[in-house]
């Protein structure tokens, strides 16, 4: 879906519109330096290299989709998607970072650092960017789709 000048002139059209932004593993890796992301068949893997003595060890956290578990923090403008944690190897390192939130058996990821790197986000007029409200997400075959609506 594209955003057209007619929609901007008639703001009512934007309120009902849903905007899909597809995030590839490369975009996620660029947004969260120090981590490598891999998306395959509905599983999001976060990989982090860790040096143990003289060897490099890769820690892998496997995450799966949770139905409509999203949240917008209005104070910090962070928009979170929550995943079910399938493997906990290395989760302690993620808990220390602001981009991740640990909530019981769910791991939250602030998607906005990756979203702002996309071409679609750049096309949204500046005055409407802060009105984006995360609605849902979906893990595809090789991408993470994040769906937004516009707040009134």
Is 70 exceeded by the pLDDT of residue 14? no
pLDDT at 28: 94
Is 70 exceeded by the pLDDT of residue 133? yes
Query: Burial level of 4, CB count in 10 A (0-12/13-18/19+)?
Result: exposed
Arithmetic mean of pLDDT over the chain: 83
Does residue 17 contact residue 11 with C-beta atoms inside 8 Å?
A: no
Q: What are phi and psi of 20, to 5 degrees?
A: -100, 130
pLDDT at 44: 92
At residue 72 the predicted structure's pLDDT band, cuts being 50, 70 and 90, is confident
- Top pLDDT among 71 and 15 is at 71
pLDDT at 111: 93
Q: Which two tokens stand for residue 120?
A: 């679609």
Is 80 exceeded by the pLDDT of residue 54? no
pLDDT at 110: 93
pLDDT at 145: 93
At residue 92 the predicted structure's pLDDT band, cuts being 50, 70 and 90, is confident
- Top pLDDT among 93 and 119 is at 119
């Amino acid at each position: 879906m594209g955003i057209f000048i007619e929609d901007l002139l008639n703001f009512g059209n934007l309120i009902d519109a849903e905007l899909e932004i597809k995030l590839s593993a490369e975009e996620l890796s660029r947004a969260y330096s120090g981590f490598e992301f891999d998306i395959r068949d509905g599983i999001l893997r976060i990989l982090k290299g860790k040096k143990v003595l003289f060897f490099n060890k890769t820690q892998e956290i496997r995450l799966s989709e949770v139905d409509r578990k999203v949240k917008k923090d209005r104070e910090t403008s962070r928009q979170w998607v929550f995943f079910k944690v399938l493997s906990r190897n290395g989760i302690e390192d993620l808990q220390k970072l602001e981009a991740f939130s640990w909530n019981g058996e769910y791991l939250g990821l602030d998607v906005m650092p990756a979203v702002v790197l996309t071409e679609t986000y750049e096309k949204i007029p500046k005055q409407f960017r802060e009105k984006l409200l995360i609605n849902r997400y979906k893990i595809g075959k090789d991408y993470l789709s994040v769906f937004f609506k516009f707040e009134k």
